[in-house]
Amino acid sequence: MPEFTIKHITSYLYRGEVYDSANQIILYPISDEYQEVQSQELLITGNPQIAHHTDYYGNKIGTFTVREPHTYLEILSRLKVVTRARPIPEDTIFAGEQWTELEKLQKRMPYVDFLNIEHFSFSDEIAAIIKTERVQTPFKTALHFCRYVYENFEYIPGITNVETQPDEIWKLKAGVCQDFAHMLLVMLRHIRIPSRYVSGYICPNKNGMRGEGATHAWVESFIPGYGWMGLDPTNNCIVNDTHVRLAVGRNFTDCSPVKGVYRGNPEHQLKVNVTVSYQGDEPEANEYFVVLKPEPVNLIVKNSFALHQELMEQQQQQQQQQ
């Protein structure tokens, strides 16, 4: 059972004082039979009170507000996680029976949410690829298209950002883990395999995988007779005990580790630093900077429930615009 120590720091440096900074964090790893959080420390500038709730997808969400004027905000998550190896699907059920089972799920919750294809202008091209390259069982089909994304999209950090839409990724044929995950989602949902976006970390085990020691993203597809199977198209592999899951959802918007709004000068710099160590090894770090110029938002927060409602409305508006 691998044990990982992960430190994730998100910091904002504002150009001038800002206030009424309302934030949402999804930095709490999923706990189940394959992943156990042994400890977690969460430190935020000003030590604001954090309100918690569980969202529709089962993710633990934290919300907090920093009302006082400030020029800097840092969110530090330090945690220890133990992971356990997952069995690989045996894939012994007849292909026709499996596809019939998936057809029955198309109108059932929550699978319908993970079959909905968001706006994508190149559906005809995807359909042509699926028609010529579809293989036998859902399991083998999912593996096939995971490899397709890995082989046909180039891994180029910095060419896209969190707002890059699937249309642009398809034209670029390049991106990073988030983009690879979104492309695999498009393909698997076209072929009617329920698939969801996963955010988390990929931890070091000396194998040179893309995204080691950083925030990462991949896909989980529902396989009849097995359940949700993780696929990492950035590395063309089945997800196992070197991946730590934070959240699941329809896309990046549902799983963003940190997001929020504030009142004040819209110009600020975002810095993210992630270090991961494996059972006492020296930590491996990944750090990047992004300069953002968002529109300032006037936000009045009376209590944690009002904050939760405001954040949910903001998220819904973002999703409707995609």
The pLDDT tens digits for 2-56 are 898 999 999 999 999 999 999 999 999 999 999 999 999 999 999 999 999 999 9
> What value does the mean pLDDT take over residues 265-283?
79
Please say if the pLDDT value at position 305 is more than 50: no
Above 80 in pLDDT, residue 250? yes
Please state the pTM of the whole predicted model.
0.83
Q: What's the average model confidence in pLDDT over 191-211? A: 83
Spell out the SS3 assignment of the chain.
CCEEEEEEEEEEEEEEEEEEEEEEECCCCCCECCEEEEEEEEEECCCCCCEEEECCCCCEEEEEEECCCEEEEEEEEEEEEEECCCCCCCCCCCHHHHHHHHHHHCCCCCHHHHCCCCCCCCHHHHHHHHHHHCCCCHHHHHHHHHHHHHHHCEECCCCCCCCCCHHHHHHHCEECHHHHHHHHHHHHHHCCCCEEEEEEEECCCCCCCCCECEEEEEEEEEECCCEEEEEECCCCEECCCCEEEEEEECCHHHHCCEEEEEEECCCEEEEEEEEEEECCCCCEEEEEEEEECCCCCCCCCCCHHHHHHHHHHHHHHHHHHC
**pLDDT band at residue 186 under the 50/70/90 scheme:** very high
Region 138-142: mean pLDDT is: 94
* Domains of the chain with bracketed CATH: 3-83+255-321 (2.60.40.2250), 95-240 (3.10.620.30)
